[in-house]
Amino acid sequence: MSSNYRPEMTNSGLSPTCAVLATDEYQNTRELHIAEERPLTIYIDSYEIVTLMTLGTQPEILALGYIKNQGLVSDLKEIKSVQVDWDVNAVAITSFSGRDDWTDKLGPRIVTTGCGQGTVFGNIMEELDELDIQGFDIKQSDLYALLRNLSSNNEVYKNAGAVHGCALCHETESLIFIEDVGRHNAVDAIAGKMWLENISGDDKIFYTTGRLTSEMVIKVAQMKIPVLLSRSGLTQMGLNLARDLNITLLSRAKNKHFLIYNGKENIVFDTELPPKLEVANIKKD
């Protein structure tokens, strides 16, 4: 094989965004684009390695980069083909050797605490179907007050950056605020605190500085918190799960701005609108 060897590969990249409707703080309906999020399970010679959450734009090189960085394959010439099938959300990597020692090759694994790694699919999804999450009314003015109060937190981020913050909130106040290198760590710490101190999530709001992915929605649902608020964006899978689980979902929340992607009926608009709005339907490409 030549030095320019390339395995057989599909070209199955998908669009990274999709258009959805949202309502802004002035009750304008806007068509915006949000990130797609898809599970992609990597197999090598029929052995399941990992499921990654991805935009899906370049799944073949994502799979190759993952197995290389994990030390599973060191020479590209060992790989015969990389085949992606979105019907089953999987990528099949076939080696020339057809080896069956991938379990030994993997050995003990450490899951990093960064934002991109996730392991939430499986029985958890079935358990979520049994949850009964009830929304509640939230005043627009209370959201503004809560965002003002939350701005006094984020001490680690203000000093050093490179962290995410999460908060358990009630009405306009933050009850628990935790920062960590990954937003999932911060969520889990708050869940542990709630469990330890028997704090109910039924009347709470969960705030995060990170994006609202499916994992974030799932974790908040497991804590039975009906409202999820973020200063960042969201993914399509996160939105779909929020709709299925009856979670009010607000993103891009900062100062006096927010976007409601789910649960508009739970927001009480009690702040006076500007005298006249000329842009009722704003489209963003």
Higher pLDDT pick, 1 / 207: 207
Note the pLDDT tens digit of each residue in 10-68: 999 999 889 999 999 899 999 998 888 888 999 999 898 888 888 899 899 989 988 88
Are 97 and 163 part of one and the same domain?
no
As a whole number of angstroms, the distance between CA 141 and CA 184 comes to 29
The whole-chain average pLDDT of the chain stands at 84
Tell me: pLDDT of 121 over 50: no
Are 167 and 218 part of one and the same domain?
yes
Are 165 and 94 part of one and the same domain?
no
Contact 228, 248 (CB under 8 A): yes
Are 218 and 267 part of one and the same domain?
yes
For residue 97, the enclosing domain spans 8-110
Contact 47, 102 (CB under 8 A): yes
Are 158 and 220 part of one and the same domain?
yes
Tell me: pLDDT of 244 over 70: yes
Number of domains making up the chain: 2
Note the pLDDT tens digit of each residue in 52-92: 888 899 899 989 988 887 778 888 999 999 999 999 999 99
Are 104 and 131 part of one and the same domain?
no
Note the pLDDT tens digit of each residue in 142-197: 999 999 998 877 665 555 555 678 999 999 999 999 887 667 778 888 898 898 88
Domain boundary among the residues 110, 135, 150 is at 110
Are 78 and 131 part of one and the same domain?
no
**Residue whose pair of structure tokens reads 């009906």 in the numeric block:** 226
Cα first-last separation, the chain: 45
Q: Read off the CATH number of the domain in which 34 is found.
A: 3.10.20.10
- Tokens read off for 261: 């992607």
Are 71 and 144 part of one and the same domain?
no
Are 148 and 271 part of one and the same domain?
yes
CA distances from 238 to 1, 41, 216 (A): 44, 18, 8
Are 131 and 261 part of one and the same domain?
yes
As a whole number of angstroms, the distance between CA 75 and CA 237 comes to 35
Are 153 and 23 part of one and the same domain?
no
